[in-house]
């Protein structure tokens, strides 16, 4: 199962949703074992196309090519090249780091195919989709394409111009907004499949690099049904 998380406006909480979803799925996996790509282990895999997942989870990212390098390589890249990028970030959870450089779109469909064939659920942080490109190709190829948004007029008015359709919306709820889930669904043309609170404890956990151990139970409960 390939699940993509993306936004149309920066800073809404997309990376935190991707990380929290993958942490939840990794915890739920019966074996909580880390396994290589195409292994038959349980758990989850995070793929970072936006560049903030390592910092969000408080792990140092290795120097090296990452997914950007894989996308830039030729078709003769070794079959295990993707698996070699994976680093363990939490029990049962691996991370494919973004690496530096642009995201070339030519091999994005091939990457989506490999990630879809993975035994574990793969959660991709596609970041803000400003237009066509590798991240949009992967979001469009995902079994679940999740728009992460606030109930924010300035964000919602951009949804129609997004390069992909959402299959569901994750709403990051803020106190005092005049727009609600119905307005979000109308704008996105997709159902709100999860509502998460804007919780200062989450922001503090991210700032401390401790999201993996301090993910609120309410987030886990809400996200469990998403993949
Ligand atoms: N549910 C939440 N409750 C509290 N703080 C949150 C929540 N989600 C995200 N944050 C905080 O908001 C900030 C932005 O979050 P995040 O990096 O996930 O957004 P983003 O949409 O991925 O941003 P970007 O567009 O830059 O990639 C971070 O400081 C994060 O800790
Ligand atoms: Mg982000």
Ligand 1 atom, smallest distance to 50 CA:
27
- Walk across the sheet containing 87-90 and list its strands: 87-90, 93-96, 44-48, 121-128, 2-7, 144-149, 168-173, 192-197
pLDDT value at position 30?
A: 53
Give the residue from 91, 74, 120 showing the smallest Cα distance to 65.
74
Tell how far the Cα of 94 is from the centroid of ligand 1, in angstroms.
21
Does the domain formed by 2-226 have CATH 3.40.50.300?
Answer: yes
Mutate which of 10, 11, 172 for ligand 1? The one with the most ligand atoms within 8 Å of its CB, which is: 11
pLDDT in tens, 113-172: 999 999 999 999 999 999 999 999 999 999 999 999 999 999 999 999 999 999 999 999
Query: Sign of torsion, CA 50 148 186 109?
Result: positive
Please state the atom number of ligand 1 nearest to the C-alpha of residue 11. Answer: 23
d(CA 5, CA 12): 11
Q: pTM surpassing 0.75?
A: yes
């Amino acid at each position: 199962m390939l699940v993509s998380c993306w936004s149309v406006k920066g800073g809404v909480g997309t990376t935190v949703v991707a990380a929290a979803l993958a942490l939840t799925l990794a915890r739920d996996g019966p074996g909580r074992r880390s396994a290589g790509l195409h292994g038959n282990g349980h758990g989850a895999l995070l793929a970072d196309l936006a560049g903030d997942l390592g910092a969000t989870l408080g792990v140092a990212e290795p120097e090296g090519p990452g997914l950007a390098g894989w996308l830039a390589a030729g078709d003769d890249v070794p079959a295990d090249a993707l698996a070699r990028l994976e680093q363990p970030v939490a029990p049962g959870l691996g991370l494919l780091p973004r690496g530096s450089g642009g995201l070339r779109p030519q091999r994005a469909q091939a990457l989506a195919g490999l990630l879809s064939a993975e035994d574990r659920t793969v959660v991709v942080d596609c970041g803000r989709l400003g237009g066509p490109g590798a991240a949009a190709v992967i979001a469009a190829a995902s079994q679940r394409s999740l728009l992460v948004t606030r109930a924010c007029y300035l964000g919602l008015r951009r949804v129609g111009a997004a390069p992909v359709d959402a299959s569901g919306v994750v709403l990051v709820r803020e106190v005092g907004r005049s727009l609600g889930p119905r307005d979000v669904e109308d704008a996105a043309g997709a159902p709100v499949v999860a509502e998460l609170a804007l919780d200062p404890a989450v922001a503090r956990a991210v700032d401390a690099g401790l999201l993996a151990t301090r993910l609120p139970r309410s987030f886990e409960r809400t996200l469990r049904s998403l993949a």
